[in-house]
Amino acid sequence: SRRITVRDIAAAKERGEKWPMLTAYDAMTASVFDEAGIPVLLVGDSMGNCHLGYESTVPVTMDEITLLSAAVVRGTKRSLVVGDLPFGSYQEGPVQALRSATRLVKEAGVGAVKLEGGERSAEQVELLVSSGIPVMAHVGLTPQSVNAYGGYPVQGRGEEAAQQLLRDAKAVQDAGAFAVVLEAVPAELAAEVTRSLHIPTVGIGAGLECDAQVLVWTDMAGMTAGRVPKFVKQYLNMRELLGGAAKEFAQEVVGGTFPAEEHTFH
Ligand code: KIV
Ligand code: NA
């Protein structure tokens, strides 16, 4: 069976079908999600927080995204792999964006890239798409702007902000994006954006009426330490399970019961 492509994504919107997206940062985890039938995997710059130990997505580099995107592509057979363009790899303009996106496509083998921004990134989206690279856009809360926001505030509240969000989503659609992430947006506004676009919206903290939903895998699996955002649902308590396994292993080593006879060569 072949890989999912952006044409399948467009067809799903026409049929009114919803779809899930998860992040992935390594081949083994990606293979689990591929086998589970998750059609789209995002190698998000959330790897900064979730995988690399940074405090935000801001420090993530093209080298890091390229290395982990290649791993996710190798670990999957069917999922469409989307590589996130990190902070500083596309803001200079369309030519820089094309250079960065081309590297991800050629060196990692991703089927699409994602970048943050609506109107402000429309020229970048247009050049990438006209060059043959499918683009997922990302509007609403854009975490690479954390230093400008001074945190991670909900976006699109109030009439003026709502109109700007609609203009941003339209701008990336007109520039040729195949989908757009809506992050931390009131559900009513996300529903209005979704109805007014012909490309799918991918919600995260954007209510039930988006065409697709995305979660950071370490959040949804309960691997993240400490507080998670309100929009996260934990489907598993992996941190507790994995920690429990590590403690059990430690106890058996200290107590001299591991390795047992069945784990031993003679
Ligand atoms: O980096 C990421 O994980 C993302 C998703 C939350 C959309 O951009
Ligand atoms: Na991201």
235 band by pLDDT with thresholds 50, 70 and 90: very high
pLDDT at 88: 98
How far is ligand 1, taken at its centre, from the CA of residue 25, in Å?
A: 12
Please name the residue whose Cα sits nearest to atom 8 of ligand 1.
Answer: 44
CA dihedral 12, 18, 19, 21 (to 10 degrees): 120
How far is ligand 1, taken at its centre, from the CA of residue 45, in Å?
A: 6
Do the annotations mark residue 116 as ligand-binding?
A: yes
163 band by pLDDT with thresholds 50, 70 and 90: very high
Pairwise CA distance, residues 135 & 140, whole Å: 17
Amino acid at 62: M
Burial pattern 54-91, b for ≥16 Cβ within 10 A else e, equals: eebbbebebebbbebbbbbbebbeebbbbbbbbbebbb
Pairwise CA distance, residues 18 & 3, whole Å: 18
Percent of the chain with pLDDT over 90: 99
- 98-135, pLDDT tens digit by residue? 999 999 999 999 999 999 999 999 999 999 999 999 99
Write the CB contacts of 115 (distance below 8 Å, at least 6 apart in sequence). 84, 85, 90, 97, 121, 124, 125, 135, 137, 138
Pairwise CA distance, residues 234 & 105, whole Å: 32
**Contact assessment for residue 1 and residue 77, using Cβ atoms and an 8 Å cutoff:** yes
How far is ligand 1, taken at its centre, from the CA of residue 46, in Å?
A: 6
E strand or H helix at 89: none
Please name the residue whose Cα sits nearest to atom 1 of ligand 1.
Answer: 44
Ligand 1: residues with CB < 6 A are: 23, 42, 44-46, 84, 138, 181, 204, 214, 216
Write the CB contacts of 125 (distance below 8 Å, at least 6 apart in sequence). 115, 135, 137, 172, 175, 176, 177
- Ligand nearest the Cα of residue 85 is 2
Domains in the chain, start-ordered, CATH in brackets?
6-235 (3.20.20.60), 237-266 (no CATH)
Q: List 212's β-bridge partners, or say none.
A: 19, 202
pLDDT at 32: 98
Q: List 137's β-bridge partners, or say none.
A: 180
Pairwise CA distance, residues 47 & 85, whole Å: 12
pLDDT at 61: 98
pLDDT at 221: 98
The model's pTM is 0.98
